[in-house]
Chains A and B, each alone.
Chain A
């Protein structure tokens, strides 16, 4: 049911009048990326689209960035309370409901903080509102705005007169655009932002009251289950409805090209129908063998990008006294949310409401409209938290599943994916191969660095119009976005290291403009994107973790050849002061023993220990982290056990240190699980890692390492993202520590006990 913005807000005590026809005049002022703010039926250039003050002084704020469990709800509430000088309790944040919140694309990419916590969007709106209120009071009293003070939602004038916000504006709209001159309160003034405010959802979560999308129930709701293909690429030849019609509570079988679903009164009945339904499938084209996949992917047609090329790398390497070369491999990995995805859709004629854990409510709205052939304005998507995701799990696909089933039966339908549906068909973290070679001089110093990488891709986030980027869209007949094979062109424009394809130690110069983190001038970085047989998606630190693994391990290999201390060696080549600072901070906090790797006199039996370091400028400039890992390796079994992590993080002015710590710790442990255990597996037809027995993960019983976190809280730079920074350096830090402990270099993730034993045997 579509609730108009006016109606919604009337019922909550404020009046908003800020509709405009989809305004394109402001488009130029808005960036066009997937994480940015876009015009829609809600005009993001108008203050009333973001904030409303009730007669009772309640501040209602609307945001297009949602809380997935990463703390965005709490920290945006802090932001609004801070800028508007009201207590946190008085702020009511409404997130990601397409009927009332602005379109801010996708909550992802470590972009929510840069988007809403700097000078645009929500921060700008809150600052604009504070100044507008001050100005209103100033005009009312004939005083100078500079002499008025706002505290706790009350403005006090020089004369001592006081007025509360609700009395000042309540029931009226601001009717002004976001101000480009509105001044943010400075970090030195912050009373609630920047403070470790406990997350506002704790109580509901711990007492089991919190509503997840899995808990949504709608009157008249039915239960749906999907029937996915038995092999990758299989297509439907026939569906025998008679095989399930006699199940009590059975309602309908829905078939749309290769999309197959069942609907029943109760969940158990729907699950039984899905199991029992007789479907004949054409076989798929078969899958490339996993054992040779890394070689296979390098031979595929590729969309190639030359990022930097000083044109002299080949000669420099030939001329160099020695060189170091290595190839690194990183597998497909899962988002692997604990909860298989779920959504509820209520489609009635040409109108639809979807309760969804999508991180992209507006793009999902548009794609649902496309799939159902109804107008976008008739679709309302309401974000309701799902199971923590860190990228693209089944949340979007299941929203499309629910919409299609509800459309077919004319009643609300809840779809719960099975564990197998979720794991076989989510959008995996991409497999990646990175081949590097560095020329080194007589002292082992680096004179040139060549880096070539291959990464796989199929689909991804559906965006505003690409249903085929996830499984449901393909089944319904849409094509996924695939790499477009083309040869690399000459690089143009200043370097933007968005995927961390470029190692931190090269200068990253293009046409005289240098955007890299280092000072090595002889550099060539080229990357190839090839088609993946499986759906891929932006799993936490996508491409960035794979590339950083390769670069940071390789840097370690070079420093080992030079018999140099890995920390000191890195600092020689870093020109970016913020990377250097986190390296120094982590080394200091981790009591880094300055010496080359590997450790001298490594025993041949028993348990050995070592330390390693890795660092990154996430996306070149969106957060900085350095990590010292101390691990133990059992030489008898090959088991690797991290014992201590010391991490230094710089993400600019910190919005909530408690939330940041939570994300950093979680990222380090998730990185440990991915580094040691996680790998998607398949046979000649299908994915075989389809539950927790066949896909390894750290469980809660894991003997935890100590984790020490140091934050560099810079106030004088923009706020950057922080959810993906720490995880990016974990596999490399562990790999380097393993080398330090054993003298063995593991170049393929995950670092399983089998791989460790094989490397130990090879070492002798």
Chain B
């Protein structure tokens, strides 16, 4: 379907740019390692406690409305700082791009618009698909971390690809969400640093059972 392909192309370009800048700042020792599973690269400095701690930090961001509104349960997105169900009975659709007649891109552009109560925008605006819904609501930090690392649940990504994904415009939109929406309060750079820290230190998951 055309919209997805084009958005995919745009996203790919974005990923390439962010990957370039990411690689430039990456620890040289891990530069050429792209592990195929969630196990850590032999050459990275593994530190489970630090990694788990980093993920706990990330979890706060992941539960912010700007992220949770598209990673909550149900076959619909949410909106607003209070996470109410998206108005107008908008639905996920099988592929996460909406249902017949009502696609995300019917209203959402690839950038924000001026004013309040207007659709926010970023390239490739959509929900996860039904097959891989990426629902974080009600998970403990450990469960969320496990889901994050599981290629069967995270869109087939390894840890490094997860890190790349965190720099895509759709994710980073959370820090520039447009008028009337509270941006993620933790600095974008700090978030990205924590993501890298988690990954580079072995991507261990927190042990506690506290659900959010």
Contact = CB atoms under 8 A, between A and B. Distances in A.
Nearest to A691: B117
Nearest to B102: A701
11 contacts: A275-B114, A275-B115, A691-B117, A692-B87, A693-B87, A693-B117, A694-B117, A699-B88, A699-B89, A701-B88, A701-B89
A34 B51 CA distance: 77
Contacts of A701: 88-89
Contacts of A694: 117
Nearest to B114: A275
A269 to B, nearest CB: 13
Nearest to A693: B117
Nearest to A692: B87
Interface in B83-98: 87-89
Interface of A: 275, 691-694, 699, 701
A1 to B, nearest CB: 38
Given A275-B114, A694-B117, A701-B89, 7 more contacts: A275-B115, A691-B117, A692-B87, A693-B87, A693-B117, A699-B88, A699-B89
B116 to A, nearest CB: 8
Nearest to B87: A693
Interface string B36-72: 0000000000000000000000000000000000000
A701 B87 CA distance: 12
Contacts of B115: 275
A275 B88 CA distance: 27
Find the residue from A275, A692, A693 having the highest chain B CB count within 10 A.
A693
Q: Is the interface of A mostly helix, strand, loop or mixed?
A: loop
A699 to B, nearest CB: 6
Contacts of A693: 87, 117
A691 B117 CA distance: 8
Interface of B: 87-89, 114-115, 117
Contacts of A692: 87
Contacts of A275: 114-115
B138 to A, nearest CB: 21
Nearest to B118: A691
A426 to B, nearest CB: 18
A701 B90 CA distance: 11
Nearest to A690: B117
A687 to B, nearest CB: 14
A407 to B, nearest CB: 29
A693 B117 CA distance: 7
A190 to B, nearest CB: 43
A692 B116 CA distance: 12
A693 B180 CA distance: 13
Contacts of A699: 88-89
10 interchain residue pairs of minimum CB distance: A693-B117, A691-B117, A701-B89, A693-B87, A699-B88, A275-B114, A699-B89, A694-B117, A692-B87, A701-B88
A583 to B, nearest CB: 37
B89 to A, nearest CB: 5
A226 to B, nearest CB: 16
Nearest to B88: A699
A692 B64 CA distance: 25
Nearest to B79: A693
A275 B116 CA distance: 12
A319 to B, nearest CB: 54
Nearest to B116: A691
A514 B212 CA distance: 69
A702 B137 CA distance: 28
A691 B180 CA distance: 14
A674 B156 CA distance: 49
A692 B89 CA distance: 13
B100 to A, nearest CB: 13
Contacts of B87: 692-693
A275 B89 CA distance: 30
Contacts of A691: 117
B123 to A, nearest CB: 23
A304 B115 CA distance: 44
B108 to A, nearest CB: 15
Nearest to A272: B114
B130 to A, nearest CB: 20
B92 to A, nearest CB: 16
Nearest to A699: B88
* Interface-central residue, B89, B114, B117, by most chain A CB under 10 Å: B117
A381 B89 CA distance: 42
B61 to A, nearest CB: 26
B57 to A, nearest CB: 33
A189 B89 CA distance: 51
A275 B114 CA distance: 10
A701 B100 CA distance: 13
A325 B115 CA distance: 48
Contacts of B89: 699, 701
A712 B82 CA distance: 51
Contacts of B117: 691, 693-694
Nearest to B80: A693
A691 B88 CA distance: 13
B63 to A, nearest CB: 24
B12 to A, nearest CB: 32
Nearest to B84: A693
B7 to A, nearest CB: 25
B107 to A, nearest CB: 13
Contacts of B114: 275
A95 B115 CA distance: 39
A417 B151 CA distance: 51
B126 to A, nearest CB: 21
A701 B115 CA distance: 26
A694 B118 CA distance: 12
A699 B87 CA distance: 10
A455 B142 CA distance: 59
A601 B89 CA distance: 35
Nearest to A702: B89
A693 B87 CA distance: 7
A118 B87 CA distance: 47
User: Which of B89, B114, B115 is packed against the most chain A CB atoms within 10 Å?
Assistant: B115
Contacts of B88: 699, 701
Nearest to A696: B87
A699 B102 CA distance: 14
A243 to B, nearest CB: 16
A694 B89 CA distance: 15
A692 B114 CA distance: 17
A701 B101 CA distance: 12
A530 B87 CA distance: 36
A694 B117 CA distance: 9
B90 to A, nearest CB: 10
Nearest to B115: A275
A55 to B, nearest CB: 52
A694 B80 CA distance: 12
A422 to B, nearest CB: 14
Nearest to A418: B115
A308 to B, nearest CB: 46
B164 to A, nearest CB: 35
B151 to A, nearest CB: 37
A691 B115 CA distance: 12
B93 to A, nearest CB: 15
A423 to B, nearest CB: 12
B46 to A, nearest CB: 48
B74 to A, nearest CB: 15
A8 B115 CA distance: 46
A214 B72 CA distance: 41
B99 to A, nearest CB: 11
A180 B114 CA distance: 62
A14 to B, nearest CB: 49
A701 B89 CA distance: 8
A537 B145 CA distance: 58
Nearest to B89: A701
A427 to B, nearest CB: 23
A691 B89 CA distance: 17
A275 B115 CA distance: 9
B32 to A, nearest CB: 50
B82 to A, nearest CB: 12
